[in-house]
Amino acid sequence: MRRCLRFIILGLVVLIAWPASARAMHISEGILPAPWAGLWFVVAIPFVAWGLHDIKVRSRQDPKYKTFLAMVGAAVFIISCMPIPIPGVGTCSHPCGTGLAAILIGPGPTVVITSIALLLQALFLAHGGLTTLGANIVSMGVVGGLAGYMSFRVLKTARLPVALAAFGAGAIADWATYASTSFELSSALHADGSMWGMFATIMVAFVPTQLPLGIFEGLLSAATYRFVLARRPELLKPNVAQTEA
């Protein structure tokens, strides 16, 4: 566990120190009009507050929880620092890591660590932006985290193998993130045109990169969840009921 933490921290330092391209990922700075940017901040704030409260409660129950939380947060930062530009859309494709985070630490804390990762990326890597931070938190942290967590629970209830449930959580969280990003962009930028027509156009633009990235996230989530379950299952007990054979 300590070796893994050192590796993640080293990767985080390297990424922060690496020269950043001006080409932004997530929803870029200035893309959303001010009223829409403000709206998504309003939507995001209650979820961040929920996550902070959850972290406070669970840290009291288990002193090791904060260390695990930091490791997962660093992993989300690193995973989501792999931009693939989408021409003409004002954003990029990239893996997110929030589906994996949600099944490891819970959906509320996932919103918090995603918010921190997005803020650091906006400040130091020119990825995303400060005005669009609320929208990016909602799409990646709120929608992605909740979609991954609920998918995992539904698949587990259906008595599917834990690896398959974790795969579904990672893949569905990734695709849900980009569906919500497409909605945020199309709702704010469609002007006199069709919002749903623009939504479909953006979604189609994402498909060539995001379809395989979702599968990659599914495989990563399945492997990581199985590893943690085998080595440190006590870290998962406060999060999801462990009924695996």
pLDDT for the residue numbered 238? 60
CB atoms within 10 A of CB 17: 9
| Residue 14 confidence (pLDDT) | 40
Q: Where are the domains of the chain?
A: 25-235
CB 100 within 8 A of CB 217: yes
| Residues, the chain | 245
For residue 18, what is the DSSP state? S
- 3-class secondary-structure state, position 46: helix
In this prediction, residue 85 carries a pLDDT of 61
- Return the CATH number of the domain spanning residue range 25-235: 1.10.1760.20
Residue 84 is classified by DSSP as E
Helix 98-105 crosses helix 195-231 at what angle (to 10 degrees)? 50
Distance CA 161, CA 120 (A): 36
Ranges of the chain with pLDDT below 70: 1-25, 83-92, 237-245
**Residue pair 152/240 in contact by the 8 Å Cβ criterion:** yes
pLDDT on residue 237:
66
